[in-house]
C-alpha cells in the first residue's frame, strides 16, 4: 500500500447540520488545515478549486443532496461598473482604505459587534467574543491583510490613511491570481452608503491596480435571496464540473 507523504494535506468531512441559507436542507463540509511553509501555496490551489478560508482552515461544501453553493470570482480586469455602482463609488469617495497587517483591535471588534447585532443577530457568529474575533484575524498562515476604511483627512494623500471613526473593515487574502474577500463588516446605520457594495467595488479597483485577474467572493447560493447580490458584479466566473466558466445572468443586472 502506498503511504501518503506526511506533508500532504489531510481532508476531513463534517457531520450534517441544518443549512443556514436554504430551509429544509442539510450541509456538510470537507476541510483541511492551512499550516506550515506550504500554507500560502495550498491556499492558492484550494481557493482556485472552490475552497474558502476561515482562520487556518480551508473548507468547501460537500452536501449529499444539494449543489446550490457555487464558487464565484469576478473578472476584475474586464469589470465595468453599472450606473448604480458608480453612484455607490461617488457616495463613498470621501472614504479611504488603509491596508494593515492581520492585527485585531478593540475598535474593530466594537464595529464587528454592532454589525452582527443588526445584520446577523442569532447567527452562527453572534456570540463571538473579543478573543474569538482576534483569532479570526490573527490565526492565519497565509498572506492576509486587514483594510480599515475611514473618512479622508487633509493629509490622506500623503499618509495613505483616513481619519476619524472606523466605518468598515475587510479581512482579505492576497493570492497569486487575485484577492479573496474572507470577511467584511461595516457600520449598519450608514445604509445610504451601501457599504457592502462599496467594499466589493474597492477590492475590484485594488485588483485592477495590481494587475490581478480575480476577486473571489466565496459562494453564491442559488435560491438564497441574501446571497443574490454576488451575481451583480459582471463579468464573473462560476466553478462547475468542467472548471471555471463565464456566467451570464438571466436578468438585467443594474
* pLDDT per position as a tens digit, 6-54: 468 899 999 999 998 899 999 999 999 999 989 999 999 999 999 999 9
- Percentage of the chain beyond pLDDT 70 is 93
Three-state DSSP class for residue 110 = helix
Helix (H) or strand (E) holding 233: none
Sheet with 57-61: list strands edge to edge: 12-13, 29-33, 57-61, 52-54
- CA gap 145, 62 in Å, rounded: 28
- CA gap 236, 218 in Å, rounded: 12
C-alpha distances in Å from residue 61, one per residue of 123, 172, 221, 230: 19, 21, 11, 18
pTM (2 d.p.): 0.91
Which range is most confident: 161-165, 223-227, 244-248?
244-248
- Give 28's DSSP letter: -
> How much is the average pLDDT of 124-140?
89
Mean pLDDT of the chain: 91
Q: What is the pLDDT of residue 1?
A: 40
Q: What is the pLDDT of residue 160?
A: 79
- CA gap 187, 244 in Å, rounded: 34
Per-residue pLDDT tens digits for 173-222: 999 999 999 999 999 999 999 999 999 999 999 999 999 999 999 999 98
What is the CB neighbour count within 10 angstroms for residue 155? 10
Amino acid at each position: 500500500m502506498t503511504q501518503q507523504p506526511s506533508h500532504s494535506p489531510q481532508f476531513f468531512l463534517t457531520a450534517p447540520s441544518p443549512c443556514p441559507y436554504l430551509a429544509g436542507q442539510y450541509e456538510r463540509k470537507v476541510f483541511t488545515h492551512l499550516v506550515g511553509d506550504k500554507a500560502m501555496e495550498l491556499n492558492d490551489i484550494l481557493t482556485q478549486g472552490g475552497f474558502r478560508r476561515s482562520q487556518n482552515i480551508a473548507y468547501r461544501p460537500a452536501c449529499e443532496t444539494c449543489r446550490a453553493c457555487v464558487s464565484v470570482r469576478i473578472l476584475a480586469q474586464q469589470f465595468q461598473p453599472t450606473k448604480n455602482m458608480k453612484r455607490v463609488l461617488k457616495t463613498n469617495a470621501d472614504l479611504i482604505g488603509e491596508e494593515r497587517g492581520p492585527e485585531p483591535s478593540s475598535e474593530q471588534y466594537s464595529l464587528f459587534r454592532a454589525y452582527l447585532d443588526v445584520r446577523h443577530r442569532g447567527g452562527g457568529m453572534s456570540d463571538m467574543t473579543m478573543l474569538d474575533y482576534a483569532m479570526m484575524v490573527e490565526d492565519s498562515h497565509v498572506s492576509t491583510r486587514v483594510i480599515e476604511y475611514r473618512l479622508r483627512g487633509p493629509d490622506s494623500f500623503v499618509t495613505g490613511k483616513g481619519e476619524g471613526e472606523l466605518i468598515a473593515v475587510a479581512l482579505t487574502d492576497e493570492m497569486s491570481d487575485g484577492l479573496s474577500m474572507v470577511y467584511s463588516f461595516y457600520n449598519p446605520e450608514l445604509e445610504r452608503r451601501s457599504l457592502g457594495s462599496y467594499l466589493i467595488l474597492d477590492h475590484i479597483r485594488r485588483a485592477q491596480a495590481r494587475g490581478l485577474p480575480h476577486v473571489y467572493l466565496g459562494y453564491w447560493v442559488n435560491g438564497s435571496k441574501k446571497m443574490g447580490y454576488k451575481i451583480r458584479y459582471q463579468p464573473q466566473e462560476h466553478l462547475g464540473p468542467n472548471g471555471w466558466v463565464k456566467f451570464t445572468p438571466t436578468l438585467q443586472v443594474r
